[in-house]
Structure 1
């Protein structure tokens, strides 16, 4: 990817929304989850790779995008973005970077600016884990207890640190109804093929809170029969109002 020029074209503009490229561009601007684009890029969809690279250069949530693709894409697709990463660091970055992971592990020795940010990140307090010593079985029991809804988010965050837990599928509807948000989507997203039957339902229900989790699971683990649902997922982006000129969100 080091010879690419499409992610720095000053005359760039949206492609037609009727094309895959146009849908992907609008996905970057209207809230398509990074995970879906990461999976499609890893599968070799060149348009996705180019658009994510462009977003890293100028998008608001560039750091999340960079760290996500650096974990799973070939190094040649992102290593040449090192000057961009160094140039976009600011005083708040050390509170956000995942310094134990790529790309920072690959770039620290190249730049004193990156090295300084990584050193600052190493000194930040570790996040609290109230359920670190709780067994997985006890966490699942907690998630079944509707009298402890306020504890469900930290419990789900703790489960995400552990091997995928298929038993979550038995209580997912209750968790969805409680509106626990991203911790649930993250925990369900790591279930893999075991979640495909449920994912097919989520991915064909645009208003479902786990809609994009379903799309991502189908992109990563589904088969040829799931292609229409993936295309529909991208098409639904064009039914959303734009986020505004010059704004881009994940």
Structure 2
């Protein structure tokens, strides 16, 4: 409320919040919030205060761009760069996946590289071995690589679907659902009915994306959230809905959930920015136009949590005028464009 009063012209509200950043207990979240909503000249002089106080904070701040602007590192939110495996052949990548001594992150990178290529059938017999050490989940990026196999994975997926490991059984079921034969229809109908009743989901993603345009959202769960079902936080729902309408983010989302043990919207949207800019510059993993349209629609709903994520962790992190991809700014919708101009008046 004080933030809005300040924007409405209350000098007392503005100075009150600035004073809280200097002395208040929860100053980190307040600073991130006002940086989200206020013009930069109202808060950027608080850098000395932030640098002096941050050492005493136990919790990591969220807004990478804000804190890096103050010269404050945000540890633990980024992984150090690793050599690209794009130059390796399919056989070399498969050998890395098969070797017991290959590092965990290297296997993820190998799966990421395979997921961007033509199908590699040699991956199929390796899939059951590509779970996490605790056996609870598949390795991040495995689903994208399996998706590239398409119907080639169907015969083996029947065996996966009967495996005792939950992640492998689910992967097998997903493959069969995405490439159903007649024998799969009774199970699909039962699954859809159960999950529809639970207001949780309404069918396999690949099948849902073949729905007519007016019903395309039925595979995402978004239509259920529009009914008001469930208690999911709105910023978390924003992430899930984005992944549903832009499936290119799916593997990033799975890796994010694995690494963070849950959904952290502000952290995930750092990767959304990188993927969107890459798409704008010519990449084909995601569709930048779909992402911008979706965020414009969501921002117009005027939901506080959604607006904070879109403003702080998407708009503010877009390329600056001297960086590649800055032209993306010219394609923002009216609401996003106005917000961008307010938080980054110099571009």
Scaled to the shorter chain, the TM-score interval is 0.3 to 0.5
Q: TM-score, normalised by structure 2?
A: 0.31
Q: TM-score, normalised by structure 1?
A: 0.41
Larger RCO, structures 1/2 (Cα 8 Å, 6+ apart):
1
